[in-house]
Amino acid sequence: MAQHGAAAAAAPRSRGLKFCPESNDLLYPRENRNTRRLEFFCKNCSHVEEAEPDDYCVHVARIKHDSKEQTVILQDVRADPTLPRTKDVECPDCHHREAVFFSQSSETGMVLYFNCCACGHRWREDV
């Protein structure tokens, strides 16, 4: 499926990710304990920069999003007889055309979670 390596290197830098101007490495967020403000630091050189107000929102939103997604995505719901099934979707992994699904509301609207009946692959779609 997805080709790692060349494709990954050419991928556009997504919003919220910061890169070191010195060594071009990904910058990691941390809280500065003295100023109690968010800053980004490079693991490969000594570069540190203070976060812009915009970075706070992106950073916080990403953490929220990740934790919510993990709680849902961890469970295999194929054996749950109370959940509806659909044949209108195709598993992005094995192309099987039947999946168990359920919906959850999120900050941005509704999210549908699918669980492939064949291989157990789980994915989500925003609606």
* Contacting residues toward Zn ion, per CB under 5 A: 20, 22-23, 25, 42, 44-45, 47, 91, 93-94, 96, 116, 118-119, 121
Query: 106 vs 118, which CB is nearer to Zn ion?
Result: 118
**Shortest Cβ 92–Zn ion spacing (Å):** 8
Nearest to 40 by CA among 32, 49, 31, 23: 49
Binding-site residue numbers for Zn(2+) are 20, 42, 45, 91, 94, 116, 119
Dihedral angle at the C-alpha atoms of 12, 16, 17, 21, nearest 10 degrees? 100
Q: How many CB atoms lie within 10 A of CB 3?
A: 7
Query: 27 vs 111, which CB is nearer to Zn ion?
Result: 27
